[in-house]
Amino acid sequence: MATIFSRIIAGEIPCYKVAENDRFFAFLDINPLAKGHTLVVPKCETDYIFDLDDQTLADMMVFAKQIAAKIKEFSQCNRVAVVVLGLEVPHAHIHLIPMNSENDVDFRKEKLKLTPEEFANIALELNK
Ligand code: 5GP
């Protein structure tokens, strides 16, 4: 069965898309730690990120780098954290999270509740 991220990539489940190319896809995390919290995923369905072949892993990081630059400009944050953790979705993904301090990347924190309009506006800004 396709993962929820594959179904998002296929357009079967809606998302707030941030970027896409032939091999990778980026969209806003629906439970964000901060405005601009984005997930970057490979279109090929692989559970564990280090099971990706070397070239895909390297290219995914370069794809993420381009998005991180947009998040940094949008958020005016010090840095964009790159986080790989969690077992929730068996489809490799990188979290990109605007950060000004290490506390901003604490996944135990309560997530933001954004309106559809807020999500859409963030995605619009990151698509520029
Ligand atoms: P992890 O496996 O990294 O712990 O968590 C997966 C992440 O995917 C979580 O941050 C969760 O909010 C996000 N997520 C799970 N399902 C969906 C979904 O249907 N849409 C979006 N945009 N994000 C999701």
Side chain identity at residue 87, one-letter code: L
Give the tens place of pLDDT for each residue, 56-97: 999 999 999 999 999 999 999 999 999 999 899 999 999 999
5 C-beta closer than 6 A to ligand 1: no
For 111, the domain range is 4-126
Can you read off the two tokens belonging to residue 70? 């947009």
3-state secondary structure of 39: strand
Q: For residue range 88-122, list pLDDT tens digits in order.
A: 999 999 999 999 999 999 999 999 999 999 999 99
For strands 24-28 and 38-42, give the pairing: antiparallel
The answer to whether 36 and 71 have CB atoms below 8 angstroms apart is yes
Write the CATH number for 83: 3.30.428.10
How many domains does the chain contain in total? 1
Mutate to test the pocket of ligand 1, among 33, 39, 46, 87 (most ligand atoms within 8 A of CB): 39
Atom of ligand 1 nearest to the CA of 88: 2
